Amino acid sequence: MAQAIFGTVWWLVTIFAYWSHDPEMWLMIQISGVGLSDTVPLAWSFENLMSTQYGWIAAANFSAFWLHLLTSFIEVIAGIYGFITGDLVLFAWWTS
């Protein structure tokens, strides 16, 4: 369950956080709407999927979003549902 929680937190970070690729600001992390980035990285990824310059990084971000949604996020939801209802069958099935 801890891995699923970490994966879900990482999934949320990849939606909203922007890591600058400028060599002078390579450690700068910005949140959407604050600083230099005025777009949500998920929206940027979708807009740049066909770009010849940024297409591969956009595809990597876009696929990471969907993979974390389909694995970690659903696992957390199944775990929470199982602990609330006392029926861990869905959680056990999903994690296996």
**CA nearest to 40, candidates 22, 48, 54:** 48
Distance (Å, rounded) from C-alpha 72 to C-alpha 2? 10
* List of long-range contacts for 27-36, beta carbons under 8 Å, 24+ apart: none
Of 58 and 27, the structure prediction assigns the larger pLDDT to 58
pLDDT > 90 in the chain, percent: 2
Q: Is the pLDDT of residue 36 over 60?
A: no
Place of tokens 């990482």: 10
Could you tell me which residues come within 8 angstroms of residue 62 by beta carbon, excluding any fewer than 6 positions away?
42, 45, 46, 49
Higher pLDDT, 36 or 41: 41
For the CA atoms of 21, 24, 27, 33, the dihedral, rounded to the nearest 10 degrees, stands at -60
pTM above 0.75, yes or no: no
Give me the residue spans of the domains in the chain. 2-69
